[in-house]
Amino acid sequence: MLSREQELELIDTLRGVHPDEFGLDEELWTRQSLTTLIQRRFELPLDTGAVGAYLRAWGLGPREPRERACGLCVSAVERWVRSEYPGITRAAQEHLAEVYWIGRVRLRGTMPAADVISAVSSRGRVRFMITTPTVDPPLPRDFVLRLSGEEQRTVHLIVDGSWPRNEWPRRLPRRIVLHPLPSCGRAVAA
């Protein structure tokens, strides 16, 4: 187990950097790349299951679409899942693409506070980055591009209410398709 001091040091280490900057073969942080970094940095033999527990404690991991909506938007999200989501998954299958659900959560108890921007695939794979929060930061273009990877895979990204559309990256490659999850406009934690 990481001590609280080690966990805070780890969060600070991850802030604004990507795994490839540590010589790891990942575009964004995953359980596997984080496990490797912990083993290198703290010489702790944690397995990916233990690291997954840290990620869940940070608010990352698979969640139901209705859990991504504020209380006012739940019925709109449920209707969207029934009417729009099947078309997105069909289009993704036709393009051999991955579908990710994107959101963010604020990690409190860190100095300064940290925002964790995460993408959870329809298969439950979590990819994330940690940033220093600013007032209403836009959806980072770098994060979106890294989800497509060096292979430039086609990806369909479902963006929750953490970012209004005017805060989405502009002029993205055609292989990156953004879909808004219904939102009443209130910011929601991922």
Residue range 68-113, pLDDT digits in tens? 666 678 888 899 999 999 999 999 999 999 999 998 888 877 878 8
In a domain, 26, yes or no: yes
pLDDT tens digits, one per residue of 5-20: 999 999 999 999 999 9
Question: What span, in angstroms and rounded, lies between the C-alpha atoms of 190 and 188?
Answer: 6
In a domain, 119, yes or no: yes
In a domain, 10, yes or no: yes
Question: What span, in angstroms and rounded, lies between the C-alpha atoms of 184 and 169?
Answer: 20
CB atoms within 10 A of CB 188: 20
Count of structural domains, the chain: 2
In a domain, 188, yes or no: no
Closest listed residue to residue 116, CA positions, set 100, 98, 104, 101: 104
**Residue 150: what pLDDT?**
84
pTM, entire model? 0.88
Whole domain around residue 140: which residue ranges?
A: 65-180
Check whether residue 94 and residue 127 sit in a common domain: yes
Check whether residue 26 and residue 77 sit in a common domain: no
Q: Taking residues 51-58, what's their average pLDDT?
A: 90
In a domain, 186, yes or no: no
In this predicted structure, which of 6-10, 63-67, 180-184 has the lowest mean pLDDT? Answer: 63-67
In a domain, 145, yes or no: yes
Check whether residue 92 and residue 36 sit in a common domain: no
Check whether residue 139 and residue 51 sit in a common domain: no
Check whether residue 104 and residue 122 sit in a common domain: yes
In a domain, 187, yes or no: no
